[in-house]
């Protein structure tokens, strides 16, 4: 019987699934069990589309289809929270099992505070996250740094600080530090991210700390809630999942890797924010001057509620029939979202003019956090 606080190695008992999965298939096995036993009506996860640069969010209701979601896609920069809010009625009418990275989870929690999502209807299976790479940058990086045609790459992974690709004719790894020094590697918001082990999820799963004969064949699961303990216990009882206590040395290693990643995130924050500190307004003014007012940054932001696209004729930020918008748009937007920006990077990722929007709102939020109470979700989050 699993309990909150347990630290376990877990893997699927289905050898077919184990083949397709990233590290033993515990995540997919848990979700499949939740769907088969009707604990949830649908599972929200990610599947590979055309190639490894094409990560697609899916809502699956047939357990037999879940295998196609197994595996980790690092060149997918989706936010599942907005997918659930916009396309699944915020889980208000159905129960969902959802795979979440730290930013997906923070997005859901912020949306729940705004009554856009009902967390009572969601079981969250968290995955540790070292970061993700913009698909366009990944293609350029693979060509420039690896000397490989990106279309021939069929697998990628981030392991022991390296971004590793498998392609027709070989495999190659380059250190993420080296890639980032040259402007490639993880998205800039991911470098600053401190949500490494998503302990606000019901279960937090990852490969850090899996050692010995289970390395690569099992996932390290931290049980973070009663709901998570219940799902795990039931999946083990139904023989869909096998578990054993995590190796004490593995627990120590996982702690050290997490600590090193948090330090790296703090280093990037210092690097990015220091550059802005003395000239914040001037920099924002200059960078946002090229905005073409497409409003994609407010459409996709999980914490922004004041869009003009929700059936309202008027909002503080966007007025119908007024293009280009009021030049106060950016200031209003920052004032509106910067106290709760989760640094998911969606605004920046989708901005056609490549304005570093997440950098600005994240910098403002962190500065506000240092000055005011309450901090972003202080009761539940540590970052
Ligand atoms: P599987 O059974 O293979 O299931 C994996 C699940 O992840 C599937 O449901 C799939 O839909 C979902 N998924 C795939 N890509 C994405 C995505 N881009 N966004 C959201 N969900 C996705 N673990 C660590 O310990 N350290 C890390 O640094 C680390 N970084 C990661 C970065 C990313 C972008 C992702 C997606 C995962 C990362 N993980 C990390 C977790 C690890 O890769 C495995 O997902 C985890 O160990 C579970 O393995 P599994 O075999 O049980 O999962
Ligand atoms: Fe992972 Fe954080 Fe980047 Fe989200 S913002 S993909 S949790 S590193
Ligand atoms: Fe994410 Fe940008 Fe919104 Fe912040 S402002 S929560 S980075 S979309
Ligand atoms: Fe302007 Fe970029 Fe926002 Fe579009 S996404 S409104 S171009 S800042």
pLDDT number for residue 45 = 98
DSSP per-residue codes, 323-353: SSPPTTHHHHHHHHHTTT-----HHHHH-TT
User: Which ligand is closest in space to the CA of residue 46?
Assistant: 1
25 close to ligand 1 (CB < 6 Angstrom): yes
Run of H or E residues at 97: strand 96-100
132 close to ligand 2 (CB < 6 Angstrom): yes
Which ligand 1 atom lies nearest to the CA of residue 21?
Answer: 3
208 close to ligand 1 (CB < 6 Angstrom): yes
pLDDT number for residue 367 = 85
353 close to ligand 4 (CB < 6 Angstrom): yes
Strand 122-127 and strand 203-206: the pairing is parallel
pLDDT number for residue 381 = 41
pLDDT number for residue 292 = 86
> With the C-alpha atoms ordered 263, 269, 274, 277, is the resulting torsion angle positive or negative?
negative
Q: How far is the CA of 358 from the centre of ligand 2 (A)?
A: 13
Hey, whose CA ends up nearest to atom 8 of ligand 3?
Answer: 301
Is the Cβ–Cβ distance between 232 and 241 less than 8 Å?
A: yes
Q: How far is the CA of 196 from the centre of ligand 1 (A)?
A: 12
Please give the model's pTM, rounded to 2 decimal places: 0.94
Q: How far is the CA of 108 from the centre of ligand 3 (A)?
A: 13
Hey, whose CA ends up nearest to atom 6 of ligand 3?
Answer: 341
Q: How far is the CA of 252 from the centre of ligand 1 (A)?
A: 21
List pLDDT tens digits, range 316-372.
Answer: 666 666 665 566 788 888 888 888 899 999 999 999 999 999 999 999 888 888 777
69 close to ligand 1 (CB < 6 Angstrom): yes
Hey, whose CA ends up nearest to atom 44 of ligand 1?
Answer: 206
290 close to ligand 4 (CB < 6 Angstrom): no
Separation CA 331–CA 289 (nearest Å): 12
Run of H or E residues at 273: helix 248-277
Q: Which tokens sit at 2? A: 């699993």
pLDDT number for residue 323 = 60
> Which of 222, 42, 36, 260 lies closest to 125 in space, CA to CA?
222
List pLDDT tens digits, range 75-111.
Answer: 988 999 999 999 999 999 999 999 999 999 999 999 9
**Which segments of the chain have a pLDDT < 50?**
308-309, 379-383
Residues 6+ apart with CB under 8 A from 192: 265, 268, 269, 272, 343, 362
pLDDT number for residue 126 = 98
DSSP per-residue codes, 150-164: GGGEEEEEEETTEEE
347 close to ligand 3 (CB < 6 Angstrom): yes
193 close to ligand 2 (CB < 6 Angstrom): yes
> With the C-alpha atoms ordered 88, 94, 96, 100, is the resulting torsion angle positive or negative?
positive
> Which of 235, 232, 217 lies closest to 24 in space, CA to CA?
217
The DSSP code for 213 is G
128 close to ligand 1 (CB < 6 Angstrom): yes
Q: Which tokens sit at 193? A: 């991210």
> With the C-alpha atoms ordered 77, 30, 23, 263, is the resulting torsion angle positive or negative?
positive
pLDDT number for residue 333 = 87
């Amino acid at each position: 019987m699993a309990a909150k606080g347990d630290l376990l190695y877990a893997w699927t008992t289905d050898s077919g699934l184990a083949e397709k999965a990233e590290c033993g298939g515990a995540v997919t096995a848990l979700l499949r069990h939740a769907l088969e036993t009707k604990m949830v009506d649908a599972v929200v996860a990610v599947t590979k589309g055309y190639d490894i640069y094409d990560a697609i969010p899916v809502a699956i209701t047939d357990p037999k289809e879940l295998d196609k979601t197994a595996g980790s896609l690092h060149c997918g920069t989706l936010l599942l929270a907005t997918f659930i809010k916009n396309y699944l009625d915020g889980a208000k009418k159905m129960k969902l099992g959802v795979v979440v990275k730290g930013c997906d989870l923070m997005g859901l929690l912020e949306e729940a505070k705004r009554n856009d999502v009902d967390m009572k209807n969601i079981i969250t299976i968290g995955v540790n996250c070292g970061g993700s790479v913009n698909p366009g940058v990944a293609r350029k990086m693979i060509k420039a740094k690896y000397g490989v045609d990106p279309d021939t790459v069929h697998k990628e992974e981030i392991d022991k600080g390296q971004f590793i690709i498998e392609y027709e004719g070989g495999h190659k790894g380059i250190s993420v530090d080296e890639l980032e020094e040259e402007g490639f590697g993880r998205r800039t918001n991911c470098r600053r991210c401190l949500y490494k082990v998503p302990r606000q999820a019901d279960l937090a799963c990852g490969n850090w700390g899996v050692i010995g004969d289970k390395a690569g064949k099992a996932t390290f699961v931290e049980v973070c809630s009663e709901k998570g303990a219940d799902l795990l216990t039931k999946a083990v009882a139904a023989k869909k999942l096998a578990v054993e206590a995590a190796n004490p040395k593995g627990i120590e290693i996982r702690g050290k890797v997490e600590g090193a990643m948090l330090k790296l995130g703090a280093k990037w924050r210092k690097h990015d924010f220091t550059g802005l500190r003395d000239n914040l307004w001037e920099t924002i003014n200059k960078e946002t001057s090229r905005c073409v007012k497409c409003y994609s940054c407010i459409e996709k932001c999980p914490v922004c509620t004041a869009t003009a696209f929700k059936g309202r004729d008027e909002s503080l930020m966007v007025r119908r029939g007024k293009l280009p918008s009021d030049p106060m748009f950016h200031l209003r937007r920052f004032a509106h979202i910067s106290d709760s920006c989760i640094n998911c990077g969606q605004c920046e990722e989708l901005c056609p003019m490549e304005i570093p929007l997440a950098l600005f709102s994240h910098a403002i939020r962190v500065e506000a956090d240092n000055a005011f109470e309450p901090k972003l979700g202080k009761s539940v989050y540590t970052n």
